[in-house]
């Protein structure tokens, strides 16, 4: 019998598979398809202080082996998430969840993180400093070590729960930013968020997406994600949650060999609502094929 358990900052997960924020709603959308309690955890849809309608449409563009989205952090806002979405999620999912928060100022990050820290079902706070779809926030905080560290320190000052910083790949030195977050008190790092992409409609001679550019995700970015997970895992001494183009159990194992303790699945959920379920069911078989008894034995084994 193989052992798929992993531990993130004291939180024991039955397996390392976690749906990525923004691709799994608040869980109930997928609970219609299967028992979501098989998941290691859930990173629910990113929360901002105020409700957000998001960016103008169209905001999805298909690509070879991926997609571009410019949703723009659409969510019902902090109050609605606390009063409606989280209680409803607690009715269908019994394990600790990951609260993804974002903001347009340090104060907004602090307000969201402090509110999520009060929620008993939240096990980890995931701070998104990397969303490329919002003009006056998001990516700006995650592109420099100094600003990423500033957000980290501010959030850590008001929380008691583990804080994981979700980083953007749209930078020159991802390891330096991760190291700055660790030094500022981060308990873990999540990466990568989407790359920045663009498609053009040849007939209309204009960008496919109203926002012109958006976040490029899907299997096409997997090698970039593995490379960045490897670089960051070697640079820091805190857990790394890897993501970016994961669509199979073999991808999960590859990401873990690069240094990830757990792995988030994003775009695959939008293509196949059973993606996470199938990966979890496939993992034991692939582990046996590769002679892996415990997943924790392979974390970061690539020198």
31-73 pLDDT, tens per residue? 999 999 999 999 999 999 999 998 999 999 999 999 999 998 8
- What tens digit of pLDDT does each residue of 79-111 get? 999 999 999 999 999 999 999 999 988 999 999
Confidence tier at 131 by pLDDT (50, 70, 90): low
Where do the domains of the chain lie?
6-54+74-194+219-297
Q: Are 242 and 255 in contact, with CB atoms under 8 Å apart?
A: yes
**Which of the following is catalytic: 131, 181, 190, 276?**
131
pTM to 2 decimal places: 0.96
Cα separation, 47 vs 173, in Å, equals 27
Confidence of residue 138 (pLDDT cuts 50, 70, 90): very low
Q: What's the rounded mean pLDDT across residues 192-196? A: 95
Compute the residue count for the chain: 303
Q: Under the phi-then-psi rule, with left for phi > 0, alpha for psi from -120 to 50, and beta for the rest, what region is 107?
A: alpha
3-state secondary structure 48-70: CCCCECCCCCCCEEEECCEEEEC
DSSP letter string over 160-188? Answer: SS-EEEEPPSSSS-HHHHHHHHHHTT-SE
pLDDT value of residue 99 = 98
pLDDT tens digit string along 255-273? 999 999 999 999 999 999 9
Task: Please state the CATH superfamily assignment of the domain spanning residues 6-54+74-194+219-297 in this structure.
Answer: Aldolase class I (3.20.20.70)
| Band of pLDDT at residue 139, cut at 50, 70 and 90 | low
Residue 136 in tokens: 């006056």
Q: What is the pLDDT of residue 136?
A: 46
The pLDDT of residue 133 = 39
Give the confidence band of 283 by pLDDT, cuts at 50, 70, 90. Answer: very high
Given this model, what pLDDT does residue 280 score? 98
Q: How far apart are CA 21 and CA 160, in angstroms?
A: 21
Return the SS3 of 246.
Answer: coil
Rounded average pLDDT over 153-177: 97
pLDDT confidence of 132, banded at 50, 70, 90? very low
Tokens of 191: 């990466």
Please report how many Cα atoms fall inside a 13 Å half-sphere around the Cα of residue 56, on the Cβ side: 7
Asked if pLDDT for residue 163 goes beyond 90, the answer is yes
- 181 catalytic per annotation: no
Q: In this structure, are residues 165 and 127 in contact, taking their beta carbons and an 8 Å threshold? A: yes
The mean predicted confidence, pLDDT, of the chain is 95
């Amino acid at each position: 019998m193989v052992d798929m358990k992993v531990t993130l900052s004291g939180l024991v997960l039955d397996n390392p598979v976690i749906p990525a924020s923004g691709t799994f709603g608040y869980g109930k959308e997928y609970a219609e398809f299967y028992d979501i309690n098989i998941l290691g955890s859930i990173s629910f849809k990113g929360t901002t202080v105020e409700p957000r309608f998001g960016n103008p449409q169209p905001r999805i563009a298909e690509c070879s082996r991926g997609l571009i989205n410019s949703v723009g952090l659409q969510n019902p806002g902090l109050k609605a998430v606390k009063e409606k979405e989280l209680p409803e999620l607690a009715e269908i999912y019994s394990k600790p969840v990951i609260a993804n928060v974002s903001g347009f100022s340090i104060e907004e990050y602090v307000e969201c993180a402090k509110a999520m820290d009060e929620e008993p079902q939240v096990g980890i706070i995931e701070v998104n400093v990397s969303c490329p779809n919002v003009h006056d926030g998001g990516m700006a905080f995650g592109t420099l070590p100094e600003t990423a560290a500033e957000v980290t320190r501010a959030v850590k000052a008001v929380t008691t729960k583990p804080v994981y910083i979700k980083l953007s790949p749209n930078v020159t030195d991802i390891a330096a930013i991760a190291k700055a977050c660790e030094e500022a008190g981060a308990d873990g790092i999540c990466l990568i968020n989407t790359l920045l992409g663009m498609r053009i409609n040849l007939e209309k001679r204009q960008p496919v997406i109203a926002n012109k550019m958006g976040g490029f995700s899907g299997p096409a970015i997997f090698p970039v994600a593995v490379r960045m997970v490897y670089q960051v895992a070697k640079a820091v001494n805190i857990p790394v949650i890897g993501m970016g183009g994961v669509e199979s159990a073999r991808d999960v194992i590859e990401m873990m060999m690069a240094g990830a303790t757990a792995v988030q699945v994003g775009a695959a959920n939008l293509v196949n609502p059973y993606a996470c379920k199938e990966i979890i069911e496939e993992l034991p078989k692939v582990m046996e094929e590769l002679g892996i008894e415990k997943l924790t034995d392979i974390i970061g084994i690539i020198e």
